Amino acid sequence: MIENKTKATFPKSSDASVTRVCSLNSSLMRHLWSIVEETQTNILLGFSDTELVHQLLRQLEFRGLLDTEESNIVSAYLYSRLLLIRDLAKARLA
């Protein structure tokens, strides 16, 4: 199976960040972006960063697509893509 390697930067504390290399397989990434597309725009735009990441992780877990080990990797990936997710949600409103 092909894996996509993504560098994700996410907050460690209020003024510092850590860069980690995340490995998401292509199937999990497709499901994740499908969930983003299915999620209501008001949720994507209205939730805080933490709430949104947790909501998307819960959806993956609910569908049986995520185990505990992958949760940290997906969480870091989501934090690194929050601006894109919100931009896509804003484009839905246009």
Q: What is the pLDDT of residues 13-23, one digit of tens each?
A: 443 444 444 57
Q: Please give the backbone phi and psi of residue 67, each rounded to the nearest 5 degrees, phi first.
A: -105, 175
Residue 73 contacts residue 23 (beta carbons within 8 Å): yes
Please determine, for residue 82, whether its predicted confidence score (pLDDT) is greater than 90: yes
Q: What is the pLDDT of residues 32-77, one digit of tens each?
A: 999 999 999 999 999 999 999 999 999 999 999 888 888 999 999 9
Report pLDDT for 17.
43
Report pLDDT for 22.
56
Please determine, for residue 10, whether its predicted confidence score (pLDDT) is greater than 80: no
